Structure 1
Amino acid sequence: MNKSLMDALRRYMRNESSTREADEVEKWMLLNLTSSKADAIFEQLFAELPVEEDDLRKERTRERLNRFIDASLDSQRLARRRMWQRGFRVLRYAAVVALGVLCLHLYHRLGETSTWHEVYASYGETERVVLPDSSIIWLHADSRLLYPERFGTRTRQIYVSGEIYADIARDPRHPFVVASNGSTVRVLGTEFNLRSYGDNDQIEVTLVEGSVALHVPTVKGTKSCRLTPGDVVRVDRGTGTLEQYRIDPSDYVSWKDQRALYFINRPFGEIVEELQRSFDVTISVQDRSLLETNYLATFVNGETLDEILTALNGDGSMEITREGDQYVIRAAAHE
């Protein structure tokens, strides 16, 4: 998790957030409520709070947390919700209490605001969603979308974790805002691809048509830029670096239409994560030295995973073995 969002969570818990920041934190919680990666975050946050010894208060917190889950997740997600058990010790289940503290006033607000819908695309799957303004969002594998039943009177805002392709209905009076892990993409009407997974500091935007403004908080301050069609911008929130590339937008093929993978100066470690999401397989890289190698490659002709790995191993630097859906990659032995 990037430092800026962690700091925002701390301010929220101390009731020091602005209204806008509190809203961002609350939507992040909804997107990550059932994610296992959030457990460690809440453990750390709870460790910074005074220890709670009141068993009755802990019980009330658990009850409110379950009501929050019931109110905020749809039936599909409810089937997989956490079942909070009685009789836990404070430190062992610190994340439950911390999450409850974070969720209390959001729970009360849910009944006062527009209903929010959550859509999740599992590994190896994509989802298509039509928004209230007729904009269309395609979700890539392991991605979440949170959107309201109706948009507000000033802006149209959604919350995303993962990768989406967006075709936004033009409405100059109501700018469209995509918020993702503390970053924002602001548009009027356009087509673009956004990749912003919560477990990765990299955020990448590819603009196919129209114009967007990108704002990304980093350790070195907010990075902002305006994109024109064909721009690919990648920002590392952990280091503050910004890279910009160009593609021919007329040649761009979206994964929403067919399997399409673009690896523009991306390290093999990130490529492996993308391949696991897209093909719903497990890839184990045994030699860490392989993870840092950068690749420039495009696959838009329906290549299989075996064909992609073979192409990436054009120099023979890797030894790739497969057993069913399990792939193991090692550095090739030197003769």
Structure 2
Amino acid sequence: MGFHYRFAPADLLRCRFAISPRWETAEAVRVLLLPRRHAYHLPWLSRIRSAAAGLDLRPLWLLMPAKGHNPDLLSPPPSGPSVTIEEELARVRAAAGDPEAAREDLRRSLACTPGALESAIGARMLEDPARAVQELADLYERAWEALVAPHWPRLRALLEADILFHSRRLAAGGLEALFEGLHPDLRWHGGSQTLTIERPSHHDRELGGQGLLLMPSAFVWPEVVGGYDPPWQPTLVYPARGIGALWTAAAGPAPQALAGLLGRGRAEVLCALHEPASTTALAHRLGLAPSTVSAHLKALRAAGLLLAFRQGHQVLYERTPLGIALTSSAPQA
């Protein structure tokens, strides 16, 4: 039993990571459907309560069954490692070009939620699936703007840090170490070259040379999700590391001794880098102008306290061993 991804030799060379703002938006909408299951996100739920009240999310909720089919046309896997919400929603809207395929995808999903097919909303979707796709894409866009976009720098920093961590695990221990570190429900069987998600049902997916797309998610916790039937890119979505501290307030001020050595601003930037982050993410986290953070980062890097590396379209910064030692040993005032 279980969901089995079966690898051919070519697939082993084509495993890669991606971040999807559209997926995070969909899962944020799902959290609102079942908020009590997501204690980690209670601070976020409190912050977006008034914005969420202005959205009618019922059409999306009808297509999010507790068990069963979620429409692939509404959630195509990202086409690259760091796509924009505009690019992803354009792909969703393109599904309106094949109304019959859209109708069948929507019908399969609606059939998994009791009463959805017979509801006025469900019937309207199936009556004109091309219009339904456009309206659903528009609703996702409004949900993104209200629920996710204001918090995207923080979310993206978490997801990028997760990819960096697991990329290093892959480099150190290979695919077995990578897969076994993603989620407790995952099992890698090296002899048969199969990755299994432990499930009560049975499903097989031959990767067929496409490889496996790995997507960290803040809102999918505590589940790991596999899916997409051919011809879609096989994809595995897993909970990102560090979500327990995602919505917590920034740590207190930098230790006085470290501030005296480096200056208050540089010390706070150095202390805020408990995970690799970009200039924009740090500015958002600390409430500083990006230009100010950039100047501090440049000085800290020149002093040998930070390293910089490229992740997709962004430059991320992390502490060197000396930077770690300084932030770990400096006494509080």
Q: Same fold (TM over 0.5)?
A: no
TM-score scaled by length of structure 2: 0.25
| Larger proportion of helix | 2
RCO higher in structure (CA 8 A, sep ≥6): 2
Structure with greater strand percent: 1
